[in-house]
Structures are given as C-alpha cells and as structure tokens.
Structure 1
Amino acid sequence: MATLLTNDQTALPDASTDKPSQSGGNAKPVKTRKELILQRWYALKNERSSWIREYKDISNVLLPRAGRFFVEDRNRGNRRNQNIFDSTATKSLRVLGAGLMAGATSPARPWIALKTPYDDLNKKHSVKTWCADVTKLILDIFNRSNVYRSLHSMYEEIGAFGTSVSIIMTDYQDVIRMYPLTAGEYCISTSDRGEVDTLYREFQKTVAQLVKQFGYANVSDNTRSMYDTGNLDVWRTVIHCIEPNEDRDPSKSDARNMAWTSTYLEIGGSSDSQQSSNMGTTGGDNALLSVSGFKKFRVVAPRWSTYGGDIYGNGPAMDALGDIRQLQHEQLRKGQAIDYMTKPPLQMPTSLKNHDIDTLPGGASYVDSATPNGGIRTLFDVNLRLDYLLSDIEDVRSRIKSAFYEDLFLMLANNTNANMTATEVAELHEEKMLMLGPVIERLHDELLKPLVDAAFDIIVEAGLLPPPPPELAGVSLQVEFVSILAQAQKQIGTNSIDKLTMALGAVVTMQINAQQPVTVLDNFDPDGWYEQYTDALGTDPGLDVDPDQRDAARAARAKAAQQAQQQAAMQQAAETAKTAAQAPTQGGASNVLSDTMSNLTGYTGGPQ
C-alpha cells in the first residue's frame, strides 16, 4: 500500500501559548490555551447537564453498559442490569440498530454511488465506470476497517440517547478508522447554521499510554515522575477538543493554521484553576499534550431529531421511556403479586413462636387442635387477575416495539399472511418508508455523507485514487445513496412508472386487436424509461452499455436495414426486367424488353 498522507498534522505545544501576555500595566492578562480549553469544557458540561439525568434513566432501563457519566467509568464489569425486569425495550433497540445497519449501510451490498451534478456527464460510460470503481474502493476500505462495527454501535446509541458521535481519523493500517463515543463522555456545540462543529470529550489513559502516544517530553511533570518510578498503570484524565480555529492564518497550511484545531490537554488539577476544581481533578499540573489540525471537521454527530435550537437530539428511547418504566414496574409488581398468592405472609398465634413451621407442600406442623387450623392463616389475601395484567403488559410491549420501529424492520418476518401479493408487499413498504423517511434523510446528511467525504479525501491524500477521465477535470462529485432503505423510498416512485407501463401495454393491445396503428407509443421514450427505472432501482452501472456504443450500434443497424431495403428494391427491379424480357408481344415475334429498346432507339434520331 502507498504511503499515507494524513491531514492531521501533529504539532508540539508552543511554550508561548502557556504564558499570559500583557499590553500594559493595567491590562488584563490574556488567557492561555489551557485556560480557554478548561473554561469552555466547563461551560459545555454545564450546557449538557440538563440532559444527563434522562441519559442515566435510559441507561438504567435500556443499555446499562452504555453511557459514561463519570470519568472513572471505564472497563467496569460490575452488574448493572438490576433495574431491567423485562428486556423487550433492549431487544427492540437491537432490532432498530440491526435494521438500520442492514437497511442503510449493509456491508453485503453497495449503499452509495458517486455521481456528478450533471446528467449528461453521468451518462458517459467512462465517467460511470470511474465512479463505480471509486465507489467499490471506498466500500472495500470500509470493509477492511472498523467502520461497520462503529456504525452499528452508533445506530444503537442514537436510538437510545438521540445523539451519537464518532471521530474519523486517518489510519496507517486500515486507511480510515472510527472512534465512536458514548453518551456522557462528550459535549458538542453547533454553528450559527445549526451544524455540529465542536467536540469536547473527557477520558482517561494510563501513564504508559500517554507517554507512548504523546512523548515523554510533552506529558505533565506528575506523569513523568510516575513513569520514572514505574507507576505505568495509573490513570490520568485527558481533555480532547476539536473546534473551529478562529485564530488561524488562512495563508498558511501548517497544523496551527488549519480550519479546525485538535488539542489534547492532560489534567493535573492545578490548585489555582477554578475549572479544574469544578471537574474534581486533584494534584499536579495541566499539560498541553498535542496541538494539531484538520482541514475539515473529522467528527460525525448524527441526531435522530431536533427541536428548535436544541444541540442534542431526541431519540425513540426518550419517546418510549414512560412505557419502558411502566413495563418494568408492571413486571416487578406481577412477580410480587404471584409471590403473595403462592407464598403469602402468615398470621400465627404467639404459642407457635420459636416453633418449627413447615410451609412447604406436604409439610407437617404440630398445632393445638382446639384452634381451627391451629390459628395459622394468611395475613391478607391477594386476588390478582393475571389475565388483565398480562393483557396490559402486551399492550405496553407493543407500544415500545412501535416506538423502535420493530414492526417496520420485522415487517415480513412477522407477517402471517402467506398469500400476500407483490403489490401488497410494495404498498406495505411504501407506508412504512414514509414513517422512517425523515430519519433516513438526517442520517444521510449528518452521518453518511460526511463519512464518505472523509474517506474520499483520505484516499486522495494517500494517492490511492485511480486516474479520472478527462471529462471530470474540475467537476465536483456528489454522493447518492442506493441502500435498501434509500432505494425503498425511491421505489415509491417506480409504482407510478409501473402503473403507466401497464396501462400503456393495455392500450397497445387494444390498438393491435382493433388493427389500428399503434400511435400511443409515439408518446413513450424507451431510453428515458430505462434511465429512470435503473436509477430508482440502483443497478450496477457496469450493466449499462456505453451510450456512444449504443448509438453506433443503432446507426449500424439502421444502415444495414437501409442496405437490405435497397438490395430488395434492386432485386425486385431485376425480377421485373427478367419478366419483361420473357413476356412475348406481336404474336411472339418480339418481347416487352425488345419493344421498349426499339422505342427508345427511335428517339436517338438514328443515322442520316
């Protein structure tokens, strides 16, 4: 593989960024880069704080292993599912994640196609072939890297918390690599256009990991001291921020002057930093580990849906949280009620105190016969109608499954009508796709398009892009989605095309049966029908014939037909002449041909 060129150029911290400068005796000192990072991180955490409680509630009853709400939440195997008494919601979320994975970004089939903005250019065979080759290259890189594993976890994350985030980085082994995050360990912010353009995250690395990744000279004094004494597995807190570089010089292309800055800051908990104390850090110093840059925002942060100026998204789990809580409560109470009915609390006389009472089936207890039942009876009776409770539980389960679109993704698997026609299946797909359409469009805009753009840029910088045809010089490319879900929405339009062609065929049949000219086909463009239908179905461009070759074949076929028609006319003329030569006239003394020649000879004037 060719040597990769990365757009993330690492630059070591500049000592000047850590020193405040003063323009005068009374001027306020300029905040250092460290102080600015801590200040904004604390502000973003405060902005996000109103979402954390709901994130925790969702994590408790849906995904106990997801969510990192404390910086120390790492690799903990303690039991976390004590609040889940019914796993319906978790299974429905799994179905949602798997359905989005198979429907939008299936590793088993193409789900993107590169095209130009111009239809005429897209019809050229060289352009179509090159775009198809680049598409296959991008999908092959995705298959070789961790992209699909990351996408699956992001789909579950966005279904649970409404927002999912992943960092896209150049990788020297896999070309591209994604680093998905979970709720609670990151903060995001948006631009004036409502697009996510800032990411702050807090995580921990060991002393050994910090020194290996950033170098001994760039870590804090505390970390160097621990490294020197062999305390390699002590965890250290790091803040990573990716944000627009407002102070860059556009005329320069070094790491410090790229459009987005990427900075790692090790938190040592300086005592004079209010922000550090608010984050609970203790002891040591803060150190800029790395300052680097990106030409483009290498973070994807899709949101299920947003309202107004909200930064974080709203997901299906938030809509179904009340139903999920109700389901857990009903299952808990159902178990308690069954326990009360099968093993109720007992009321016994004081004379039996400290005596053995066998409450198991077939057990024997010795009591005073003068007292009915020995004075042993239930403390209170519980008469639970389990049928009513189970009916309500099933109703809650159906609402949860509907909230996670389980009925959509398992539509055909759960269908009991074995005689359903293809038309009925198509109409059912159309109805469901209309419900999921807005979510798919948002995933395209906020997740998949930026991912494909990043992969294309990395391929270009790595020198892996095949030479483009001359027609593409100076032409931009755009991504078209041809996944199952995307095609399902497009194929809604094919229903009208199918109805048109069926009606057209019926009219053609009527005209033929009536022995009339088939004039209705004068309104039909077969080439236009083919282009629209193949585009809606997303077929491989390799199946198409080059339009120039097609036109040449048609011209050759027309020329051959014309030549055949001319030969037929010449043959008919020869047959006519032969017949004329054999037809006798003037009592058999001559024939039509000789008489004609004689008549023509007379017009020449003859010899004088």
Structure 2
Amino acid sequence: MAETGELLVKRLEALKSARMIHELVWRDCFMLTDPIRASGLQGPVMDANEISRAISLIFDSTAIDASRTLKASIISGMTPANSLWFKLRVNGEDDEQTRWLDESSELLWENIHNANFDAETSDCMDDLMAGWFALYIDEDKQNGGLYFENWPMANVFCASSKPGGLIDTVYRPYKLTAEQAVTEFSRRGDSLPATIAECAKTRPDEQFEFCQCIYPRTLAAVGAVRSKNLPIASVTISCKDKAVVRESGYNEMPVVVARWKKIPNSVYGVGPVLDALPDIRTLNDIVKLEYANLDLAVSGMWIAEDDGVLNPRTVKVGPRKIIVANSVDSMKPLQPAANFNVAFTEKDKLQGNIRRTLMADQLQPQDGPAMTATEVHVRVDLIRQLLGPIYGRLQAEYLQPLINRCFGVAYRAGVFAPPPDSLAGRDFTIQYQSPLARAQKLEEVTAIERFMGDVAVMAQTDPGVLDNVDTDEAARATAKGLGVPDAIIRPADQVAQFRQKKQAAAQQAQQQQLGNEVTGDVLKSVGSAAANRMVAAQ
C-alpha cells in the first residue's frame, strides 16, 4: 500500500508539471473575463479581497458580456431544462421497446434536472470559455437521485490512457482539516494515517492535503460486487504521508472532461476567449487611458508663470477660489493634445471584434421588428454553422459520457421500470433533440419545404407530378427535423387504420345518403300517385 501511495504521488507531481506550461494562458483568459475562476492557477487561492482587486482592473465589460452570451447559448442550445433534449434508442426496436426507452428517457431527463445539474453546468461553461471543464457525477447518498459537482480547473489534473482518446484519468488534490479527515475517512476499510488522527485531537483545524486518483483498472471483473474490482479505480491518498487512505471504484468514468479546442500533443484545451484575448487586452488598455485622462478633460490643464506674485508651486485651481497674480497673462488654460475621437473609434472597432470572435453579435437576438420565417431560417442556419463544430466535440466529450454515467447510476438504483426481456444485452444509442441538434437537421426541413413549394407550382400545370412525392414520409421527416413530439404523430400502421375507418365511414355515409334519396323519391312517387287518384275521384 505504501508503494502504491508513493507511485500515485509521483504521478500527481508529473501531471502537475505537464499542466503548468498551459496555466498562464487560462489565467490570462480568466483575469480579463471572470477573475473568480482564475483562483489557484499560477498562484495561491485568491480570497474575496484579491478577487475584488482583480475585477477592478477590468475597465471594459464587453468580453464579460460576450462570453456570458456564448455560455448561455451553449447551455440553452444543448441541455435546456424546459424540454427533453435526448432519447435512448436501439437498432430495430419494436413498439414495446420504444415505449420503455421513451419513458426511461423522460424519467432520466427529469432526474438530471431535478438534481443540481443546471447550477453546476453553469460553472462548467465558465471554465469552458478558457478551454475545458470537469464535471463529477455520482449518486446522492443522503437524499437519493443524482449529484453533480463542478471541479474547478485549478484542482484537476488529467491524462488519457489511449493516445488521442478521451480523458479517463483524473487526479484531484484537495484539503481537509484534521477533524474533517477523521469524519470523512471513518468507513470500514479506510486507513487514515495515525499522525492525522492524533492531530485531530490537539489541532483539529490544521489542514492536510489529499488527492483522489481516478483511472481505468488494468484488470476488472464484469459485474463485480466489490468496488475494488470495478472498471474505474478511485484511490484517495494522503499526500504528506504518501499513503492510501481509501480504495474504491466506479462502473463508469464518473468525471466528464470536455474541451473546446484541443492543444496539440496535450490532453488539455483552449477556449474561445483566447482568440479574442489580443483585442480584449488592447481595449482594456485604451479604456484605462481614457479614464486616466478623464480628469484632465473635465478640470483642464493650466500653464502658469512665476511673476513674483503668483507662485505656481502653491496655487490651487478650483471653484470659488481667487488666484493672485501680477497679470492675467501669468496663468492660462492649456489645450490638451489628446484626441478622444481616435480612442472612441478604436474602442468601437475592438468591441465589435470581440463580440464577433465570441459569436455574441450573432447568437444574441437582434433588436428590431419581428423576423419573417425566412429570416428565422437564415439566422438558425448561421447559428448552426457557428456552433456546429463545437457542438460535435461537446456531444462526444460531454453529452454522451454524461448520459451514459447518469443512466448507469439511475439503472442500478432501480429508477426505471423493468425493461423488456428483448432489450437484455443490447447497447443503446443516444438521439439528441436539443435546439442545436435540431438546428443541424433544419437543412433537410428547409429543403423539403422548398421542394414541396416547387412541386405545388408545377402541379398547377401537370397534376401528375404529385405522384413523385411520398407526402406521408415528407410530413414525418419535417416533424422529426422540427422536433415535434412523437406523441402527436400517428405511427404508420395507425395512419392506415385511421384511413380505413374514414373510408368506411365515408362509404357508409354515402350509402345512407343514397338510401335517403331513394326513399325520398319513392315517397314523392307515392304522394304523386295518391294525389292523382284524389283528383280522379273528384
């Protein structure tokens, strides 16, 4: 155990060294947009006063506002809390399987958003603006359900067991007081070092560093009962004593690590703020100079001559003050040489560049009259083009591991109804239905709408052209692309039955109408004959 602890501590130090060369970039991005997230990067953890001082050095909020707009667009476009954004599917599913998968998808979505997911994913997106984030997912042992926790970037060190693969090795150092350590590591099987246990009796508030090491096990048992045999190892070590305190495991990787854009030859990433960083720095310096010259612009500059009466070294200019001088020419206002118009022009240009780089000028709703349907399609298509590549990476590194982990935790907790026997041993796939996923399908919807419009025009001269179109399939493809709920779309077999009933009802109504007409004609004939007999009798 001691040897294992030493090896893990050595691995932690190696991961710290490998990450150190990137930390300054992330810190610079945070210090100009969100200084709170920079705490612990390339320096100690900042307190509230240090964070306040860092915020006071930001003189223009354009980058802050633009990054918030981008973050909000990603959250609302990928994982909205007000609509189901994914469905579980298997190949060749029947109606019974589809029903269970739909119910399970909705139940899993409700459990995700009933937990603290929405709060923690907001912090994750803050980190993503600088490059990457880490989201821990587990079962809430006390209250039940799911539990999410954003691990700050400064406290996470990553690696991958496969070249170019997803991050599956995470080391997280953290600190506990001696008293907290005794409380935390009191389970059966834990082995807290005696020095910490003794310290808790005399100095309970003294802090000690621990590290949770999560990585794939080389040998793991399928369906293991003991946590030490699960596929993903979780080993907590005491860094000072280099001793293993707790050894456990997970069925799935519990930490989801997603990147905006990968750094070559590294497991880490950089974010969109880095692209705008030169403009952000320049704009901040220009606005800083503007504020520095604001006092001169308001109070003015003066030139004074020591004429024997006026002493420029002691004179003070201000309201309701009398300045004694030998001549009115001894003191004159000096016209500042600064040109604020140049600064204003350059500032507007830089602000536009920043918003364009962070996509805020396109993602944010534009002021003005209501857009037409064509304008809406063009705007959605532009958003799809802007966020499409990023959405593809986040879908693979964020959404899929997230749903796999949440499904595994919920399934083992008995959240779902018993599945059909036909689903045993089958792998499910994830069908995304978020606004961004639907936006990627809108090209098909637009193409269908344009095609149907052209066919309608051609049908005015040649109705036979409609025979080329399967209108039922066109309606289904359009509904699917628009994200229409499946509950309001009839399956193909129900459509056939519905049409048969409509046809039978129409035939019955036609026969009844025909019978009524025949009866009316008979009655009319009988009435005419009776009238004729009465006339003849008279």
Matches of 1:565 and 1:370 in 2, distance apart? 114
Q: Equivalent residue for 1:220?
A: 193
Structure 1 residues 174 and 382: CA distance shift in structure 2, 3 A: farther
Among residues 485, 493, 518, which one is paired with 1:540 in the alignment?
485
Q: Which residue of 2 aligns with 1:203?
A: 174
Letter in 1 for 2:259: R
Question: 2:33 aligned with 1:62, yes or no?
Answer: yes
Per-residue CA shift, 1:60-101, capped at 9, x if unaligned? 211111132278516645323132111111121111111211
Q: Look up the equivalent residue of 1:166 and give its one-letter code.
A: L
Code of the residue aligned with 1:335 in structure 2: it is Y
Partner of 2:526: none
Contact conserved, 2:134 with 2:150, CA < 8 A, in 1? yes
Structure 1 counterpart of 2:110 = 140
Aligned-partner Cα distance in 1 for 2:419–2:460: 47
Kept in 2, the 8 Å contact 1:205–1:237? The answer is yes
Q: Which residue of 1 aligns with 2:85?
A: 111
Letter in 2 for 1:184: A
Q: How does 1:556-575 map to 2 (within 5 A)?
A: 556-558=501-503
Residue aligning to 1:397: 351
State which of 318, 321, 329 in structure 1 corresponds to 2:285. 329
Partner of 1:165: 134
Residue equivalent to 2:9: 38
Query: Residue 172 of structure 2 aligns to a residue in which SS?
Result: strand
Which residue does 2:536 correspond to in 1?
A: none
SS in 2 for 1:519: helix
Q: Deviations over 1:210-262 (max 9, x none)?
A: 22221286323332122112x33322211111111125566955322222111
Q: Which amino acid aligns with 2:277?
A: L
- What TM-score do you get using the length of structure 1 for normalisation? 0.77
Structure 2 equivalent of residue 373 of structure 1: 330
C-alpha distance 431-546 of structure 1, shift in aligned 2 (>3 A): closer
Alignment pair present for 1:448 and 2:399: yes
Quick check: 188-197 or 312-321, which moved more? Answer: 188-197
Question: Does residue 479 of structure 2 align to residue 528 of structure 1?
Answer: no
- Tell me, what secondary structure is at the counterpart of 2:159? strand
Does the 8 A contact of 1:316 with 1:403 survive in 2? yes
**What residue in structure 2 maps to residue 494 of structure 1?**
445
CA contact (8 A) 1:433 1:485 kept: yes
Task: Name 1:179's counterpart in structure 2.
Answer: 149
Instruction: Give the distance between the partners of 2:248 and 2:279, measured in 1 at CA.
Output: 46
Partner Cα distance (1:76, 1:265) in 2:
30
Q: How many residues align?
A: 514
Partner of 2:158: 188
Following the alignment from structure 2 to structure 1, what is the Cα–Cα distance between the partners of residues 123 and 319? 50
Counterpart of 1:358?
316
Task: Work out which of the residue numbers 61, 68, 76 in structure 2 matches 1:87.
Answer: 61
Matched, 1:240 2:212: yes
How far the C-alpha of 1:565 sits from its partner, in A, is: 8.4
- Give the match for residue 527 of structure 2: none
Asked if the contact 1:167/1:179 (under 8 Å) is kept, the reply is: yes
Unaligned runs of 5+ in 1: 1-16, 19-31, 269-284, 512-517, 576-608
Cα distance in 2 between the residues matched to 1:485 and 1:92: 19
After TM superposition, the score normalised by the length of structure 2 is: 0.87
CA distance in 2, matches of 1:193, 1:420: 44
Quote how far apart the aligned CAs of 1:182 are.
Answer: 2.1
| Residues 433, 489 of structure 1: 8 Å contact kept | yes
Counterpart in the other structure of 1:264: 236
Q: Counterpart of 1:262 in structure 2: which amino acid?
A: S
Contact 1:348 1:377 in 2 (8 A): no
SS in 1 for 2:55: coil
2:279–2:350 CA contact under 8 A, matched in 1: yes
For 1:359, what is the secondary structure of its paired residue? coil
Tell me whether 1:310 sits opposite 2:266 in the alignment. Answer: yes
Superposed CA offset, 1:283-341 (max 9, x none): xx333221111122111111111254331112111111111110111011112233344
Partner SS for 1:65: helix
Q: Secondary structure at the match of 1:365?
A: coil
**1:526 Cα deviation from its structure 2 partner:** 2.4
Q: Is the 8 A contact 2:380 2:439 kept in 1?
A: yes
Cα separation, partners in 2 of 1:345 and 1:433, compared to 1, 3 Å: farther
Please say if 1:386 is aligned against 2:370: no
Change (3 A) 1:220 1:353: farther
Tell me, yes or no, if the aligned pair for 1:71 and 1:204 is still in contact at 8 Å: no
**Structure 2 vs 1, CA of residues 233 and 569 (structure 1 numbering), >3 Å: closer, same or farther?**
same
Structure whose CA Rg is larger: 1
Q: Identity over aligned residues, as a percent?
A: 23
Partner of 2:535: none
Distance 1:498-1:392 versus aligned 2 partners, 3 A rule:
same
* Partner secondary structure for residue 270 of structure 2: coil
Counterparts in 2 of 1:399 and 1:174: CA distance versus 1, 3 Å: farther
| Cα pair distance change 1:49/1:355, threshold 3 Å | closer
Secondary structure of 1:202's aligned partner: strand
Match of 2:499 in 1: 554
Name the SS of the counterpart of 1:81 in structure 2. Answer: helix
- Once the 2 structures are TM-superposed, how far is the Cα of residue 390 of structure 1 from its aligned partner? 0.8
Let me know the Cα RMSD of the aligned residues. Answer: 3.2
CA distance in 2, matches of 1:117, 1:400: 45
Q: Partners of 1:552 and 1:310 in 2: how far apart?
A: 59
Structure number having the greater helix percentage: 2
Name the stretch that deviates more: 252-261 or 80-89: 252-261
Conserved in 1, the CA contact under 8 Å of 2:27 and 2:42? no
Question: Does structure 2 retain, via aligned residues, the 8 Å contact 1:206–1:236?
Answer: yes
